[in-house]
């Protein structure tokens, strides 16, 4: 009897150890806000001001979500990992990302302290991992995304069918790379995507650079964002800064960014170069330009985050987006410019709950990609009918 009790106690001890080596965490947040915008375009084409309740994914600090994160210790510094993350609209309870249940992230992989991490599934591109944390969008406001989120720093487009590798950090240096399989029979690269980049952190300074190349982006990169599908153009008809380039055969994004902390202040710069190559190559999409033409955008952001007290964070950023001049097949010269000013304050009520106030002003000029006079279109809000748009939102965010 005594031996049986000893054996049972030993088994119980081993079970406790095994349980301690594995974990599954339920996590999430809800971000709810009241938003005012002026001159919203209606179904009749008229412009009216609007006050509405919106999820943080559109106008707040963070998109509402819940998720499961798990790890299993495999020994020797190795772990099995997974993440399943679902976005939702707190107003209606509907799933986000166009109804995809785990539309934010869904991946599984292996991690090793010496060799890095490899994961497979629906994931963020490496620019979101490396550049977004250095931009205003990644620190204090979704409304601060660049014109139409043209460089995807705001993570409008997740990436399906991916294989991603992240290296360990050596002396402040970290590298990462991703490849997405297009999933087209007979052409493994069609609709595919690759991105890679690196980050270096040393004391108060962080710098990062990233490169992304997507083939047939209308049917690959942009199609992975179900919210954007409209009239056969996955680029999204509301983002007229670049929706006219949906026929592009490929897309390239080059980003560089840096942050430098000085006491309670963090100063940041972000530069993006975005190119849509070989217009007219995507089947089923109307091309208003000469076949084979390319369109280019340059974007620069300057941002400041200031920790006034441990509970109060202030933010300011300015963003400039410039479209290169390109002429349509009918001889219309296009090329739009967007100037955007962002201001925010975040007050922490506790470690898990904060309230905030954000304000954005955008001015558009020139001719947009559709050949029309450019109008303001703050990312996440209905496009304006005029060159100017203002959005003001106040909200609360609770984490769990």
In a domain, 7, yes or no: no
**Element spanning 339, H or E:** strand 333-348
pTM of the prediction?
0.91
The pLDDT tens digits for 88-115 are 999 999 998 888 999 999 999 999 999 9
Q: How far is the first Cα of the chain from the last one, in angstroms, to the nearest whole number?
A: 47
**394 or 238, greater pLDDT:** 394
Measured CA to CA, the distance from residue 291 to residue 278 in angstroms comes to 7
In a domain, 5, yes or no: no
Q: What is the DSSP letter of 121?
A: E
**Positive/negative CA dihedral, 183, 189, 191, 194:** positive
Please tell me the predicted confidence (pLDDT) of residue 230.
52
In which domain, by residue range, is 103 found? Answer: 23-399
CB 112 within 8 A of CB 120: no
pLDDT at 20 over 90: no
In a domain, 15, yes or no: no
pLDDT at 83 over 60: yes
Structure tokens at 59: 């106008």
In a domain, 9, yes or no: no
* Domain total in the chain: 1
Q: Counting every residue, how long is the chain?
A: 400
- The percent of residues above 90 in pLDDT, for the chain, comes to 78
Query: Phi, psi at residue 257, to the nearest 5°?
Result: -155, 160
Q: What is the DSSP letter of 382?
A: P
> Which string of b and e fits 104-136 if b means at least 16 CB within 10 Å?
bbbbebebeeeebbebebbbbbbbbbbbbbbbb
In a domain, 69, yes or no: yes
In a domain, 329, yes or no: yes
pLDDT at 400 over 80: yes
The pLDDT tens digits for 329-340 are 999 999 999 999
pLDDT at 218 over 80: yes
In a domain, 330, yes or no: yes
Please tell me the predicted confidence (pLDDT) of residue 226.
61
Q: How far is CA 218 from CA 14, 226, 232, 259, in A?
A: 53, 12, 9, 33
166 three-class SS: strand
The pLDDT tens digits for 237-277 are 668 999 999 999 999 999 999 999 999 999 999 999 999 99
**Confidence tier at 348 by pLDDT (50, 70, 90):** very high
Please tell me the predicted confidence (pLDDT) of residue 236.
63
What's the rounded mean pLDDT across residues 302-316? 98
Closest CA to 130 of 214, 57, 201: 201
pLDDT at 60 over 70: yes
Q: What CATH number is associated with residue 293?
A: 2.40.160.10
Structure tokens at 234: 């996955």
In a domain, 221, yes or no: yes
Find the range with the poorest average confidence among 1-10, 183-192, 307-316, 366-375: 1-10
CB 32 within 8 A of CB 52: no
The β-bridge relationship of strands 205-215 and 250-262 is antiparallel
């Amino acid at each position: 009897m005594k031996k049986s009790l000893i054996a049972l106690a030993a088994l119980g001890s081993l079970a406790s150890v095994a349980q301690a080596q594995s974990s599954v965490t339920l996590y999430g947040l809800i971000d709810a806000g009241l938003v005012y915008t002026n001159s919203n375009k209606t179904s009749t084409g008229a412009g009216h001001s609007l006050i509405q309740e919106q999820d943080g994914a559109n106008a707040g600090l963070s998109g509402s979500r819940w998720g499961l994160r798990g790890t299993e210790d495999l020994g020797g510094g190795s772990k099995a990992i997974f993440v399943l993350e679902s976005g939702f609209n707190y107003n209606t309870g509907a799933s986000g990302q166009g109804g995809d249940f785990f539309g934010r992230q869904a991946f599984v992989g292996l991690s090793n302290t010496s060799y890095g991490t490899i994961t497979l599934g629906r994931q963020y591109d490496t620019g979101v991992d490396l550049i977004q944390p250095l931009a205003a969008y990644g620190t204090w406001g979704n409304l601060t995304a660049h014109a139409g989120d043209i460089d995807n720093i705001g993570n409008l487009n997740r990436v399906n069918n991916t294989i991603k590798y992240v290296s360990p950090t050596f002396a402040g240096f970290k590298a990462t790379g991703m490849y997405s399989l297009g999933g087209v029979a007979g052409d493994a690269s069609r609709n595919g995507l690759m991105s890679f980049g690196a980050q270096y952190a040393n004391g108060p300074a962080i710098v990062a650079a990233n490169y992304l190349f997507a083939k047939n982006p209308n049917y690959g990169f942009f199609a992975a964002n179900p919210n954007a599908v409209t009239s056969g153009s996955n680029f999204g008809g509301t983002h007229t800064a670049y929706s006219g380039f949906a026929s592009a055969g490929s897309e390239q994004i080059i980003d560089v960014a840096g942050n430098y902390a000085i006491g309670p202040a963090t100063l940041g710069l972000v530069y993006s170069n975005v190119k849509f190559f070989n217009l007219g190559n995507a089947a089923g999409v109307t091309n208003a330009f000469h076949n084979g033409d390319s369109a280019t955008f340059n974007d620069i952001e300057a941002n400041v985050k200031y920790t006034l007290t441990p509970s109060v964070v202030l933010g300011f950023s300015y963003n400039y987006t410039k479209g290169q001049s390109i002429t349509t097949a009918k001889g219309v010269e296009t090329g739009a410019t967007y100037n955007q000013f962002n201001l925010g304050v975040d007050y922490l009520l506790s470690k898990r709950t904060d309230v905030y106030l954000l304000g954005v002003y955008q001015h558009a000029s020139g001719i947009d990609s559709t050949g029309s006079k450019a109008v303001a279109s703050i990312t996440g809000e209905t496009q304006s009918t005029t060159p100017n748009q203002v959005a003001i939102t106040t909200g609360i965010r609770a984490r769990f």
